[in-house]
Amino acid sequence: MNIIKTDGIIIRTQNYLETSKIVVCYTKKQGKVSLIAKGARRPKSKLGGALDLLNHVHLVYYSKESRELQVLSQADICHSSQSYSREIPRFSLAMAAAELIGQLEMKEDKNVWLFNNLAETITSIEKAVTPELILYQFIWRWLELSGFKPRLRRCLKCGQIPQGEKVNFSFSVGGYFCSNCHQGHDEYLQISIAGIHLILMLRDYAASQLINQRTTNFLLGELKNITWRFLQHHVDGIKELKSLKFFDKISNLEEYKAGVV
């Protein structure tokens, strides 16, 4: 049995028996791990407050290869998600990033770069003028890390920078064709040049550099469509992100738009 000390982000929680809790964390040293926090739901437990969703915590736990659940011993908060308590839309976007990691990352597959990006994404969504951009940037960064990086600088056929307003993006080829070169590839999506430039900006900039970035609802719609379709095309078994669906639902409520909620 090993004692593991590492930073982690709480990406999923589940009550267990009467007083305990199961937490799934994405950790800096061990990747995704499942932990049992015995007695965490007791009123005087030292663990309870640290195990809120999206908290960045320093963990100490006992690890044994033959166990599915490792035993959590200590959790100290490095960065609390408490600021999200009245920001349900932002919380939903940050949870969508955590949900993606929960779906796609294998257990105990260490990736320090991904951990740092998840942590930066969660803190940046709290502050961003257009928080949706931070989430979609995280998805494109994950795709790039996983080897799915479309070519977006020039037309795939003629090699020129398009001069028109729209291009035809091919999911199977992984890039776009200008209006002069498109020849009916099987699966494509027409997207504006401005939309392509937006994706390039997300790929080139850090999340902290996008905090003050604004864009239009039209471009956000394009970005959501191409991001999700590209993800579905290249990642088998990807499920709908419930947190993102919830964000869309509450964003469309007239009461929320009016500032009532």
Least confident window among 48-62, 128-142, 184-198: 184-198
Residue carrying the six token digits 């738009």: 257
Both tokens assigned to 120: 């930066």
Which has the higher per-residue pLDDT, 217 or 185? 217
CATH of the domain at 176: 1.20.1440.120
Residue carrying the six token digits 């969508």: 96
> Whole domain around residue 10: which residue ranges?
2-80
User: Does the predicted model carry a pTM greater than 0.75?
Assistant: yes
Both tokens assigned to 247: 């964000």
Same domain for 44 and 25: yes
Rounded Cα distance, 64 and 57, in Å = 21
CA dihedral over 247, 251, 252, 254, signed as positive or negative: positive
Both tokens assigned to 63: 């690890």
Same domain for 114 and 232: yes
Rounded Cα distance, 244 and 43, in Å = 32
Rounded Cα distance, 7 and 61, in Å = 11
CATH of the domain at 46: 2.40.50.140
Least confident window among 14-18, 93-97, 144-148, 162-166: 162-166
**Considering just the CA atoms, what is the radius of gyration of the chain in Å?**
20
Of 49, 80, 111, the position where a domain reaches its end is 80
Same domain for 226 and 102: yes
Same domain for 249 and 148: yes
Q: For residue 259, is pLDDT > 60?
A: no
Which has the higher per-residue pLDDT, 183 or 57? 57
Same domain for 143 and 28: no
Same domain for 237 and 156: yes
Q: For residue 241, is pLDDT > 70?
A: yes
Q: What is the pLDDT of residues 101-125, one digit of tens each?
A: 999 988 888 899 999 999 999 999 9
Same domain for 150 and 61: no
Same domain for 71 and 42: yes
Q: For residue 193, is pLDDT > 90?
A: yes
Q: What is the pLDDT of residues 211-226, one digit of tens each?
A: 999 999 999 999 999 9
Phi-psi region of 39 (alpha: psi -120 to 50; beta: other; left: phi over 0): left
Of 29, 56, 80, the position where a domain reaches its end is 80
Number of domains in the chain: 2
Q: What is the pLDDT of residues 37-48, one digit of tens each?
A: 999 999 889 887
Same domain for 230 and 123: yes
Same domain for 137 and 182: yes
Q: Which H or E run includes 159?
A: none
Of 27, 47, 80, the position where a domain reaches its end is 80
Least confident window among 16-25, 149-158, 179-188: 179-188
Segment 153-176 shows an average pLDDT of: 90
Same domain for 252 and 206: yes
Same domain for 230 and 108: yes
